[in-house]
Structure 1
Amino acid sequence: MSSVKGAQSISRTLQVLRVIAGGLGEGVKLSWITRRTGLAKPTAHRLLQALLAEGMVEKSESEGYFLGPECYVLGVIADQRYGLSHIASEPVARIAAECGDSAFFSIRSEWHSLCLVRKDGNYPIKTHVLQPGTRLPLGVGGGGIAMLSALGDDEVEQCLVANAEECAEHYPHDQRADQLRRIAECRELGYGINRGSVVAVSWGIGAVVRDPRGEVLGTLSIAAIESRLQPERQQVLGPQLVREAAALERKIQEAQRMRQ
């Protein structure tokens, strides 16, 4: 029984950390943590005190809770092992240079996507919706559509339920019906298309990247102003992203074999 309680406590602690990480450096209040995790206030407070003692979380009296320095240290160590940002930088830079627009590599973080790498092409008008560190619900944006579409139907349903409140509050054009329609389109085409659902003039296209086990790892994507991502160009860039995603998967597999 004690081992079960211990595992439950670890799971709850990770839920709290993920909610704080979702604040993207803006500080998260206790009330928001309890709302997002479903934890009782005393339980969440107890977990936060333990995380504060370990340096995993910091607290500002006026702004709330932030990830602490120990999270940064663990992130640096993890990046040395997995090196996803380094591995993905080359194809992202190549895509940006070839298409002239902005290219990205984002990873899946439970029911969200997190942008790790951005490279800009030489076209003078750029979209700035997606930056390194930007966190979006899966299904939002070209890359988010690609990742959500690559999940099984049961996971898609879990994701839609988990993100319903956030999408209703912040992404009015990314509701359940919108996302189901985009999932069907992405599964047919092989790549996801965002037609300005977040910002009207900012369009995007994305292709899923899987890890060596075949699970959804992340996405390669392109963002541009509306006039540069019309159907004719979508039909060129979409398959290009799919090819680049497959090549990136092979690089990740090779890197994993070398570590073993």
Structure 2
Amino acid sequence: MARVAQLLSAIGSHGTVGARLLDLSRATGIARPTVHRLLQELQDVGYVRQLENKRYALGTALFHLGAAAPSPVRDLAAVRRAAQKLSDACGDTVYVAILQFGAAHYIVRTEGAFPIRAQSVNVGDTIPLTSSYNGLILLAQLDEDAREQHLARLEHDQPDAWRTTSLTEHEQALRLALTQIDADGYVYGADVVMPGLAGIALPVPSSTGRPIAAVSISGLESRLPAEREPELLALLRATADEIARFID
């Protein structure tokens, strides 16, 4: 059962793009013949499906099973209070998102006192991982192959605000952001997910070692200058640690 759990977790980390048999063997440390046998058994019960490109993704039977499982967010009101505390401290918009179906699902948005707000995402929205600062944090938790699959869809997932900019330029900005996350554990900057919008985001710590949630501060570019980075990062880290108490 432990190997099955490892395998399902590895498949799930690739989202809807799917994973190759080789990827799954490397990620789990399970021999390829054994992975192939387990995949066949999981396909038989609908927990795994094979895509047209031969990759493996989670099956629809898991959707029904998951519907009966508790939410990883144990106390949404507490998460909202932590986010509001951060908004009050920094004056800007704070978002909390979780990884869901290979996308960023937004569960909290709180506002600070600054009158001009950057409300680019609403609570309840589920958007591509390349379309927000929190999404980039969640994208960075995936392996290299899964990242490339998401970036390859940028032409279809690109927000309308980027349509006047070349696709190549946008992709370069996203890749630089992912490099920063890999190196520093967070992203900070402007004109990454949307022109004129700045943000800072980092993962919410997880007991499993693979974060499924992220928290961010977003605002106009003038609101998040480089000199505010240390202050905002400290506030954000404290908030992420607090939120981690309420998300499994």
TM-score by length of 2: 0.66
1:1-260 equivalent positions in 2, closer than 5 A: 3-7=41-45, 9-12=46-49, 38=52, 74=67, 78-79=70-71, 82-149=73-140, 151=141, 155-171=142-158, 172=167, 174-175=170-171, 177-249=172-244, 251-252=245-246
Q: Is the 8 A contact 2:42 2:48 kept in 1?
A: no
Letter in 2 for 1:170: D
Quick one: higher RCO (CA 8 Å, sep 6+), 1 or 2? Answer: 2
CA-based RMSD of the aligned residues comes to 3.3
- 1:193 shift after superposition: 2.1
Letter in 2 for 1:142: Y
Partner-residue secondary structure (3-state), 1:252: coil
Partner-residue secondary structure (3-state), 2:136: helix
- 1:183 shift after superposition: 2.2
- 1:168 shift after superposition: 2.2
Letter in 1 for 2:149: A
Q: Is the 8 A contact 1:190 1:242 kept in 2?
A: no
Structure 1 residue runs without a partner (length 5+): 16-36, 41-46, 51-55, 57-69
Alpha carbons of structure 1 residues 139 and 90: separation in structure 2 relative to 1, 3 Å: same
- 1:201 shift after superposition: 1.8
In the aligned structure 2, how far is the partner of 1:6 from the partner of 1:245? 40
Q: 1:41-66, CA deviations, whole angstroms, 9 ceiling, x for partnerless residues?
A: xxxxxx99x9xxxxx9xxxxxxxxxx
- 1:140 shift after superposition: 3.8
Alpha carbons of structure 1 residues 187 and 243: separation in structure 2 relative to 1, 3 Å: farther
Letter in 2 for 1:181: L
Letter in 2 for 1:210: P
Structure 2 residue runs without a partner (length 5+): 1-36, 159-166
In the aligned structure 2, how far is the partner of 1:163 from the partner of 1:184? 15
Letter in 2 for 1:6: D
Alpha carbons of structure 1 residues 10 and 187: separation in structure 2 relative to 1, 3 Å: closer
Q: Is the 8 A contact 2:133 2:193 kept in 1?
A: no
Letter in 2 for 1:86: A
Alpha carbons of structure 1 residues 92 and 161: separation in structure 2 relative to 1, 3 Å: same
Letter in 2 for 1:123: F
Q: 1:211-256, CA deviations, whole angstroms, 9 ceiling, x for partnerless residues?
A: 221211211111101100110112211222122212322x137xx6
- 1:84 shift after superposition: 4.9
Alpha carbons of structure 1 residues 200 and 219: separation in structure 2 relative to 1, 3 Å: same
213-222 or 162-171, larger mean C-alpha shift: 162-171
Q: Is the 8 A contact 1:145 1:193 kept in 2?
A: no
In the aligned structure 2, how far is the partner of 1:139 from the partner of 1:169? 11
